[in-house]
Amino acid sequence: MAKIAICGYGVVGSGVAEVMAENADSIARNAAEQVSVKYILDRRDFPDDPYEDLIVHDFSQIENDPEVSIVVEVMGGVGAAYEFTKRALMAGKSVVTSNKELVAAHGHELIAIAKKKNLNYLFEASVGGGIPIIRPITQCLTANKLDEVYGILNGTTNYILTEMRQNDASFEDALRQDQENGFAEADPTADIDGIDAARKICILSDLCFGKHMNPEDIKAEGIRGVTSADVEYAKRLGCKIKLLGRGLRTGHETATAYVSPHLVSNSSLLSNVDGVMNGIVVHGNALGDTMFYGAGAGKRPTASAVVADVIDAVKHTHARKYLDWDDAPDGYFTDSAYVPSRWYVRANTSLQQIGWAFGKVNFVTYTGAAEDEYAFATEVYDEISLRKLTGGMNLRSLFRILD
């Protein structure tokens, strides 16, 4: 019988306990032994909760119990979660996590500790909620040289953008609804400002390109600047606005990653990824594009990925799963401003100035559009050139277009 401890009894932790109990028989069959929860660590008490008796407040109890072979860290953050993960690994316990902030910032170091101790540090739930994406990248697609990964990586912002487009919802109402559904981070700023998506594209880029990216190097622009006018202009351009994280190789030994709102063409598969769903496209030189789609946030979808990792850790008690990347050489991370694309521009300017800068462009408008602005799509430019060309304009929005 394998015994686990869950650290953090919030949305994901309670989902893990629930799925472990509900699917105990199939989990035991898949793991080839019974798996049970021995402790749940949280600061709070949970009177009348079915797992009330398992609640502990001191991590040492878990650390010092040799019966516990796997620690599930679903606390979030890089404070106590980082400390407990290191202590669990040093105490000879494998660790499973959904903590993207910790994996993006310290995953390389924690994997190294796990490696030294012949243990596993598994994090399928850290990207894309319940979508299988870490295993496909590190197992099924390993015959390929992966050169690009991009997608909708944050359920909260996708939910808000979908509500704004489909139901004319206000930003605030859509966010409130999303928080009630348990999708947003404790501090939703991380969702709205693209920081959560930046951590996830960091992890995906680390795995796809095999070298460490510092999450703090990744430029993240969130959805605060997306207005209902942008949503309307995008519709007229045959697009939807989506917050994308994108990582790509930019040369033999260089790569970049960034997060920003994009106009995604209605003909792209990603344009139909709505609500809290996530969609991730991986491009490999042998396979071409492959898209992974599913529930990117929420209690049970995230628990689904966490529990699958627990089962994998049970099955690999004395064998390591290969899941790692190398340190990056100097100059590996390049500025995403050099990545070319078409652009959507909304600006308070004159037709003459647009003509001087861009020649002929594809203008769009809609009934009710502001009279003091123009919106148009450009040809392909990198961001540096684009900023120079729009330098004299009073810019209101500037988003990349994904054709």
Q: Given the DSSP bridges, would you call strands 394-402 and 342-348 parallel, antiparallel or unpaired?
A: antiparallel
Q: Which is nearer to ligand HSE, 237 or 297 (CB)?
A: 297
Angle at alpha carbon of residue 94, lines to 90 and 97, rounded to 5°: 110
Binding site for ligand HSE (CB under 6 A): 129, 154-156, 183-185, 191, 196, 296-297
Dihedral (Cα; 171, 176, 181, 186), 10-degree rounding: 100
**Shortest Cβ distance from residue 97 to ligand HSE (Å)?**
12
**Shortest Cβ distance from residue 175 to ligand HSE (Å)?**
11
Among 298, 313, 310, which Cα is nearest to 128's?
298
**Shortest Cβ distance from residue 154 to ligand HSE (Å)?**
4
Q: How far is the C-alpha of 74 from the C-alpha of 41, rounded, in Å?
A: 10
Please tell me the number of Cα atoms within 13 Å of 179 on its side-chain side.
Answer: 14
Contact status, residue 270 vs residue 242, Cβ threshold 8 Å: yes
**Shortest Cβ distance from residue 8 to ligand HSE (Å)?**
14
Reading the block at residue 113, the tokens are 């500790």
Q: Which is nearer to ligand HSE, 155 or 222 (CB)?
A: 155
**Shortest Cβ distance from residue 177 to ligand HSE (Å)?**
12
In degrees and rounded to multiples of 5, residue 363 shows phi and psi of -75, 150
Q: Which is nearer to ligand HSE, 158 or 390 (CB)?
A: 158
Reading the block at residue 376, the tokens are 């148009």
Q: Which is nearer to ligand HSE, 101 or 230 (CB)?
A: 101
**Shortest Cβ distance from residue 23 to ligand HSE (Å)?**
21
Q: Which is nearer to ligand HSE, 279 or 284 (CB)?
A: 279
Three-class SS string for 80-93? HHHHHHHHHHHCCC
Place of tokens 């040093």: 90
Q: Which is nearer to ligand HSE, 62 or 243 (CB)?
A: 243
List the beta strands (DSSP E) in 223-364.
239-251, 254-265, 277-284, 288-295, 342-348, 362-364
Q: Which is nearer to ligand HSE, 185 or 373 (CB)?
A: 185
Which of the residues 100, 200, 211, 299 is marked catalytic?
200
**Shortest Cβ distance from residue 29 to ligand HSE (Å)?**
29
Q: Residue 137: how many CB atoms within 10 A of its CB?
A: 25
Reading the block at residue 218, the tokens are 């990744």
Active site residue 315: no
Identity of the residue numbered 260: S
265 class by beta-carbon count within 10 Å (0-12 exposed, 13-18 middle, 19+ buried): middle
Torsion sign (Cα): 134, 135, 140, 142 = positive
Catalytic residues: 200
